């Protein structure tokens, strides 16, 4: 009986659970906002004016409201991988974007700090005042 119970407990704790397979794939963000700002090529707040999910990447044209790094124009195009963890841009939504420059294009990575503005209050507070885009 004791061996049966031990075998049951070993199998119970050793086998992955169904719940684990539905867990969020991104680890909690441990990097500071300042560290992410330093590593990013572009950091800005923008409103989605034209999303495009037709290609192998999610693409969105955003109207820039303020920028901390790498963006001086009123509009930019950002690309994101087609994964559950990446941003799902929709017209009218506002985002705080942390992007990298690859082959002349701005990309947001899976599990980046890019997030909808209503979830970005703490990051915005740490970033301080941004600059308005030029004409």
Residue owning tokens 């990309």: 107
Look at residue 82 in the predicted model and tell me its pLDDT.
74
Please report, for residues 20, 21, 25, 44, 114, the alpha-carbon distance to residue 9 in angstroms, rounded to integers and kept in the order given.
Answer: 18, 20, 27, 51, 42
* Nearest-angstrom CA–CA distance, 101 and 51: 19
Could you tell me which residues come within 8 angstroms of residue 68 by beta carbon, excluding any fewer than 6 positions away? 37, 43, 44, 127, 130, 131
CATH (domain of 109): 2.40.50.120
Tell me the whole-structure pTM to 2 decimals: 0.75
Find the domain containing 71 and state its range. Answer: 30-127
Of 133, 69, 79, which is closest to residue 104 (Cα–Cα)? 79
Q: Is the dihedral of CA 65, 70, 76, 82 positive or negative?
A: negative
Q: What is the pLDDT of residue 21?
A: 32
Q: Does some domain include residue 47?
A: yes
Within a domain: residue 65? Answer: yes
Report the pLDDT value the prediction gives residue 85, as an integer from 0 to 100: 59
Tally the domains of the chain.
1
Task: Going from the first residue of the chain to its last (135 residues), give the mean pLDDT of each consecutive group of 10, the final group possibly shorter.
Answer: 46 37 47 90 96 82 96 93 72 94 89 90 95 86
């Amino acid at each position: 009986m004791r061996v049966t119970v031990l075998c049951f407990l070993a199998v119970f704790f050793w086998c992955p659970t169904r719940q684990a397979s539905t867990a969020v794939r991104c680890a909690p963000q441990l990097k500071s906002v300042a560290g992410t700002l330093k590593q990013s090529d572009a950091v800005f707040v923008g409103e989605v004016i034209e999303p495009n999910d037709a290609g192998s990447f999610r693409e969105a044209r955003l109207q820039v409201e303020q920028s901390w790094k790498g963006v001086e124009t009123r509009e930019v195009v950002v690309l994101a991988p087609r994964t559950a963890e990446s941003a799902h841009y929709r017209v009218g939504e506002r985002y705080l974007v942390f992007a990298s420059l690859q082959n002349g294009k701005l990309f947001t990575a899976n599990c980046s700090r890019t997030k909808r503005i209503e979830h970005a209050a703490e990051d915005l507070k740490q970033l301080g005042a941004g600059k308005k885009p030029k004409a």
